[in-house]
A = this chain, B = another copy of it.
Amino acid sequence: MTVKTIQVAKSALSANQEIAEQNRAMLDRAGVTAVNLMASPGAGKTSLIERTVRELKGELRIGMINSDTSDAAMDAERGERAGAFSIHLNTTGRCHLDAGMIRDAIACMPLEEIDVLFIENIGNLVCPASWKLGTHSSVLIASTPEGDDKPYKYPRMYSGVDALVVNKIDLLPYTNFDLNYFTRGVEALNPGLSTFPLSCRSGEGLTRWLHWILSMSVREYIYGRAEQMV
Residues of chain A touching chain B, judged by Cβ–Cβ distance below 8 Å, are: 40-42, 68-70, 72, 74-75, 93-95, 122-127, 143, 145-147, 149-150, 152-156, 168, 170-171, 174-176, 201
Binding site secondary structure of chain A: loop
Structural contact, B41 and A125, CB atoms closer than 8 A: yes
**Residues of chain B with a CB closer than 8 A to A147's CB:** 41-42
Rounded to whole Å, the gap between the CB of A186 and the closest CB of chain B is: 14
Rounded to whole Å, the gap between the CB of A198 and the closest CB of chain B is: 15
**Residues of chain B with a CB closer than 8 A to A40's CB:** 40-42, 123, 146
Structural contact, B70 and A154, CB atoms closer than 8 A: yes
Rounded to whole Å, the gap between the CB of A135 and the closest CB of chain B is: 21
Rounded to whole Å, the gap between the CB of A150 and the closest CB of chain B is: 6
17 intermolecular pairs with C-beta atoms under 8 Å apart: A41-B150, A42-B146, A42-B150, A69-B153, A69-B154, A70-B153, A70-B156, A74-B149, A95-B124, A122-B126, A123-B125, A123-B153, A124-B124, A124-B126, A145-B146, A170-B174, A171-B174
Bound-complex Cα distance A147 to B68 (A): 15
Q: How many copies of this protein are present in the complex?
A: 2
Rounded to whole Å, the gap between the CB of A125 and the closest CB of chain B is: 5
Rounded to whole Å, the gap between the CB of A91 and the closest CB of chain B is: 9
Structural contact, A72 and B152, CB atoms closer than 8 A: yes
Point out the residue from B68, B69, B74, B154 that lies within 8 Å of A41, measured CB to CB.
B154
Bound-complex Cα distance A152 to B147 (A): 24
**Residues of chain B with a CB closer than 8 A to A168's CB:** 145
Structural contact, B156 and A93, CB atoms closer than 8 A: yes
Point out the residue from B69, B72, B126, B174 that lies within 8 Å of A174, measured CB to CB.
B174
Point out the residue from B126, B170, B176 that lies within 8 Å of A69, measured CB to CB.
B126
